[in-house]
Amino acid sequence: MTRPIPADLFRTSSYTQQQNCVEVADLPDGSAVRDTQHRQAGYLMFTSGEWVGLVGTVKAARVG
């Protein structure tokens, strides 16, 4: 079961672009990501290790 995350913990990701908005919530045990335009659809949870890997992949893709 997905635990509830207060809406005020979500912020616009620094890795997002205007037309592709996502929000991220930094949590003690990882991060949660949701679509700004479809907040009611829920969110995806990532462990700290998964989040580091995702951000690293995004950074590498932006450079290449």
Domain that holds residue 47: 7-63
CB neighbours of 43 closer than 8 A, spacing ≥ 6? 2, 5, 25, 32, 33, 34
Tell me how far apart the alpha carbons of residues 18 and 7 are, in angstroms, rounded to a whole number.
Answer: 20
**Number of domains the chain is built from:** 1
Q: Domain for residue 1, yes or no?
A: no
Q: Domain for residue 18, yes or no?
A: yes
Per-residue pLDDT of the chain (64 residues; tens, 9 = 90+): 467 899 999 998 766 666 668 899 999 989 999 998 898 999 999 999 998 998 899 889 877 6
- 3-state class (DSSP) for residue 39: helix
Q: Domain for residue 14, yes or no?
A: yes
At residue 20's C-alpha, the angle toward residues 60 and 30, to 5°, is: 60
Closest to 56 in 3D by CA, of 44, 43, 46, 41:
46
Q: What's the confidence (pLDDT) of residue 64?
A: 63
